[in-house]
């Protein structure tokens, strides 16, 4: 029987699919016809029967597909009696920390509140910290903050500071720490940092592959929002910098339990669970399990969508700027009840023009 290794994970998109290797990391693109066949007949069929079931127009393609799966060790051949030895991986995501990360914008308005909160251990049991530091904060204050946080149990600290500090000798010592990563920004860091054109241009959305934990998280949660919080320049607590919903203010948080009330609230948890299978267009995208999109989903009528279009069009597999790209809105339309309805005929014609015939 042909069997997919348990650590291989297939994500079917509208036009093509991705195949992911949990153990070795990374992914490759595969045609939908192959993805659907190996998902459907996994552990149920012999090599020759799969060849018949796939009924490709060009049969030499089957050998090409099979060799690809075999060479990459995605599938193997085994006796039917062995199949029970290969149990599926449990994809349920659990994370042992209250939050995965906190991003703190340090400004002259909130620096004292931030210091007090760090000293009160409000951010206890959070492994990753990122500080975005307004340009007018002095190196000595930055170092004071890193010293407080360094004394806690943390896995990583990232400091995003303005280029003007690059030559400052004050940072040489903290740059030696294996826990601290200092990044110098060439964008002015002030209260308008996240809405500046330069920031928006640099981050239409983030797209990073972080391995199997991310895949597991993406099956149940939104990987940009889940277990993250952001403290803005007024010490307002939000999900992430792009959020408009204010969950509280750090000045009113006296102890860790007060913060836990916020992150256990329905308003916080509900948005974490809007994973990309629930968002229009993203649910048709083969990159949805590895995408960290920083657009905030909004509910319109019966569906979740985002105000702006993604730079990637999953219906024609083209990024904005690539030859042949057209915007998503030209590949279908939004219907009140069903959300985005792809225009199948138009997409099929476009894909033939761009990519040639199927298979
Ligand atoms: S459409 Fe864009 S935002 Fe949505 S999953 Fe695909 S790449 Fe990510």
Residue 145's alpha-carbon distances to 150, 203, 238, in angstroms, are: 8, 27, 21
Residue 77, token pair as written in the block:
């051949």
| Cβ-contact 135, 164 below 8 angstroms | yes
CA of 288 to the centre of ligand 1 (A): 6
Residue 209 has pLDDT above 80, yes or no: no
Q: What is the DSSP letter of 203?
A: -
pLDDT digits (tens, 9 = 90+) for 98-120: 899 999 999 999 999 999 999 99
In short, whether 105's Cβ falls inside 6 Å of ligand 1 is no
| Cβ-contact 20, 8 below 8 angstroms | yes
DSSP-assigned letters across all residues of 185-209: ESS--STTGGGSHHHHHH-SSB---
In the three-class reduction of DSSP (H, G, I as helix; E, B as strand; rest coil), residue 91 is classed as coil
In short, whether 314's Cβ falls inside 6 Å of ligand 1 is yes
pLDDT of 203: 52
pLDDT digits (tens, 9 = 90+) for 23-52: 888 899 999 999 999 999 999 988 888 888
Residue 205 has pLDDT above 70, yes or no: no
Judged by average pLDDT, the poorest of 29-33, 61-65, 73-77 is: 61-65
At 359, is the pLDDT very low, low, confident or very high (cuts 50, 70, 90)?
A: low
Parallel, antiparallel, or unpaired: how do β-strands 75-77 and 2-4 relate? antiparallel
| Cβ-contact 125, 249 below 8 angstroms | no
Q: Give the atom of ligand 1 at the shortest distance from the alpha carbon of 295.
A: 3
Residue 183 has pLDDT above 80, yes or no: yes
Selection from 57, 58, 68 nearest residue 17 by Cα: 68
> What number is the average pLDDT over the span 291-304?
90
In short, whether 285's Cβ falls inside 6 Å of ligand 1 is yes
Report how far residue 346's alpha carbon sits from residue 351's, in angstroms, rounded to the nearest whole number.
Answer: 9
Q: Give the atom of ligand 1 at the shortest distance from the alpha carbon of 285.
A: 6
CA of 301 to the centre of ligand 1 (A): 21
How many angstroms from the chain centroid is the CA of residue 71?
Answer: 29
| Torsion of Cα atoms, 213 then 216 then 218 then 220, to 10° | -140
pLDDT of 358: 61
CA of 44 to the centre of ligand 1 (A): 32
pLDDT of 162: 87
Selection from 70, 35, 93 nearest residue 211 by Cα: 93
pLDDT of 150: 77
Mutate to test the pocket of ligand 1, among 15, 204, 205, 289 (most ligand atoms within 8 A of CB): 205
Which residue CA neighbors atom 1 of ligand 1 most closely?
282
Report how far residue 309's alpha carbon sits from residue 326's, in angstroms, rounded to the nearest whole number.
Answer: 11
Q: What is the DSSP letter of 108?
A: T
> What number is the average pLDDT over the span 129-153?
88
pLDDT of 204: 46
CA of 291 to the centre of ligand 1 (A): 6
> What number is the average pLDDT over the span 338-352?
96
Residues shown for the chain: 359
Dihedral sign, CA of 38, 313, 244, 202?
positive
Domain 2-85, CATH number (from 3.30.530, 2.60.40, 3.90.930, 2.60.120):
3.90.930
In short, whether 27's Cβ falls inside 6 Å of ligand 1 is no
Judged by average pLDDT, the poorest of 74-88, 171-185, 287-301 is: 171-185
Residue 330 has pLDDT above 60, yes or no: yes
Report how far residue 189's alpha carbon sits from residue 199's, in angstroms, rounded to the nearest whole number.
Answer: 10
How do the domains of the chain map onto residue ranges? 2-85, 101-272, 276-355
In short, whether 310's Cβ falls inside 6 Å of ligand 1 is yes
In short, whether 238's Cβ falls inside 6 Å of ligand 1 is no
pLDDT of 124: 85
Residue 144, token pair as written in the block:
């004071």
| pTM of the shown model | 0.89
Parallel, antiparallel, or unpaired: how do β-strands 156-162 and 180-185 relate? parallel
| Cβ-contact 102, 29 below 8 angstroms | no
């Amino acid at each position: 029987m042909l069997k997919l290794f348990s650590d291989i994970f297939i994500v079917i998109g509208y036009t093509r699919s991705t195949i992911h290797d949990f153990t070795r990391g990374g992914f490759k693109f595969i045609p939908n016809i192959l993805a659907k066949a190996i998902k459907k007949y996994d552990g149920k069929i012999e090599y020759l029967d799969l060849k018949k079931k796939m009924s490709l127009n060009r049969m030499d393609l089957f050998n090409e597909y099979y060799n690809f799966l075999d060479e990459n060790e995605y599938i193997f051949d085994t006796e039917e009696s062995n199949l029970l030895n290969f149990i599926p991986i449990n994809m349920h995501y659990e994370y042992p920390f209250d939050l995965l990360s906190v991003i703190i914008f340090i400004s002259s308005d909130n620096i004292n509140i931030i210091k007090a909160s760090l000293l009160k251990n409000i951010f206890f049991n959070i492994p990753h910290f990122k500080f975005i530091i307004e340009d007018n904060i002095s190196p000595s204050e930055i170092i004071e903050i890193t010293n407080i946080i360094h004394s806690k149990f943390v896995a990583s600290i990232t400091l995003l500071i303005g280029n003007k500090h690059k030559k400052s000798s004050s940072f040489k010592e903290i740059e030696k720490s294996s826990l601290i990563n200092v990044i110098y920004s060439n964008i002015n860091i002030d209260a308008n940092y996240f809405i500046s054109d330069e920031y928006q241009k640099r981050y239409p959305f983030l797209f990073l592959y972080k391995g199997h934990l991310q895949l597991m998280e993406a099956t149940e949660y939104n990987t940009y929002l889940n277990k993250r919080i952001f403290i803005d320049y007024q010490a307002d607590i939000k999900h992430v910098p792009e959020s408009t919903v204010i969950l509280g203010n750090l000045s009113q948080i006296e102890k860790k339990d007060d913060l836990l009330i916020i992150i256990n609230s329905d308003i916080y948890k509900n948005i974490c669970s809007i994973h990309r299978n629930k968002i229009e267009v993203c649910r048709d995208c083969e990159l949805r399990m590895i995408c960290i999109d920083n657009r905030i989903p909004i509910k319109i009528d019966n569906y979740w969508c985002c105000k702006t279009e993604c730079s990637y069009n999953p219906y024609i597999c083209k990024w904005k700027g690539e030859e042949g790209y057209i915007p998503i809105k030209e590949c279908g339309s939004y219907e009140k009840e069903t959300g985005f309805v792809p225009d199948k005929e138009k997409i099929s014609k476009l894909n033939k023009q761009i990519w040639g015939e199927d298979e």
